[in-house]
Amino acid sequence: MSVFTPVSRADAESLLGRYSIGALQDLQGISAGIENTNYFLDTDRARYVLTLFEKLTAAELPFYLGLMSHLAERDVQCPAPVRDNSGRSLTEVNGRPACIVSRLAGAWVMDPQAEHCAQVGAALARMHLAGADFTLTMANPRGPRWWHEAAQQIDGFLTAAQRGLLLSELAFQDAVRASDVPRGLIHADLFRDNVLFDGDALGGLIDFYFACTDVWLFDVAVTVNDWCIEADGSFDEARRTALLQAYQAVRPFTPVERQLWPLMLRAGALRFWLSRLCDFHLPRPGEMVHAKDPAHFERLLVRHRAGVAPLLA
């Protein structure tokens, strides 16, 4: 959610001329994040978020916009795309595909407690089930094939120890073949800065632009790897238990998922170690860009490789 493509007030006013959502009141760039350009866009009627897509193409975006509409219609707390006067939710701003979505109430919680984690776990399970009848599919763009491509791109920046760790983990992940693992829509990036809390109540899930069709348990692992981890990479047991129990109360885990839990935790750490390495060593120019430290997920992967607790007792 960095600002790579500047949008002026005149640009925003011109854009709003295609919609019936009011006159521009305020426009502010959002500096957090690393993938798209985002602005808070306030009109005299409501508050919205304007997103300009820096990597995704116009051909790819119907999946994401359709998905958010699908989930919002099923009472999942998430942004709802706004349609213009021609009935389209996809538009263009300054040469980039773009959209306007509703702005949810609330703010990030960077120091979550067990109750926050329980609400996130339940919301994630409800999202998985609500997306089960979404008819479009999207292969995970940051799945195993991408892992190998990214590893080649950043190889020259790695120490010998890092290269050994990476190659070993890729080989381990490649060797596992599992069937009968529940699959469907996943968020794939449900970190603390992609969930809003309005006071102590969940405000909603945001930033669905890594969503795809993949293993639900991988989504749970990605979420646990952020919400339930201390700075040193160890689990906060109260938060971990709260999130997993709340998820299971909505969608019970299967025996196969329990067996694959250690693998998925490692896969989640690997995926974000690689993406942060790419963002750190191969940055794109941007007006406001924040690359996150890759070392955190390197440490987390090392800890997970040493062993993890069962999915739930």
Q: Based on the domain organization, do 149 and 284 belong to the same domain? A: yes
**Collapsing DSSP states into helix, strand and coil, what is residue 109?**
coil
DSSP conformation letters of 218-276: HHHHHHHHHHTB-TTS-B-HHHHHHHHHHHHHHSPPPHHHHHHHHHHHHHHHHHHHHHH
Q: Based on the domain organization, do 146 and 213 belong to the same domain? A: yes
Q: Based on the domain organization, do 92 and 138 belong to the same domain? A: no
Read off the CATH number of the domain in which 77 is found.
3.30.200.20
Cβ atoms of residues 304 and 222 within 8 Å: no
Q: Based on the domain organization, do 169 and 44 belong to the same domain? A: no
Tens place of pLDDT for every residue, the chain, 313 residues?
Answer: 467 899 999 999 999 999 999 999 999 998 765 689 999 999 999 999 999 999 899 999 999 999 999 999 999 999 999 999 999 999 999 999 999 999 999 999 999 999 999 999 999 999 999 999 999 999 999 999 999 999 999 999 999 999 999 999 999 999 998 889 999 999 999 999 999 999 999 999 999 999 999 999 999 999 999 999 998 888 999 999 999 999 999 999 999 999 999 999 999 999 999 999 999 999 876 544 566 889 999 999 999 999 999 998 7
For residue 3, give both structure tokens. Answer: 């600002």
Domain housing 16 = 9-102
Contact partners, residue 226, CB within 8 Å, separation at least 6: 190, 191, 192
For residue 186, give both structure tokens. Answer: 């996943």
Q: Based on the domain organization, do 152 and 233 belong to the same domain? A: yes
Q: Based on the domain organization, do 70 and 130 belong to the same domain? A: no
Residue 312, CA distances (Å) to 119, 121, 255, 257, 295 in order: 17, 13, 11, 11, 28
Residue 310 covered by a domain: no
Q: Based on the domain organization, do 70 and 159 belong to the same domain? A: no
Q: Based on the domain organization, do 231 and 90 belong to the same domain? A: no
| β-bridge pairing 201-205 and 195-198 | antiparallel
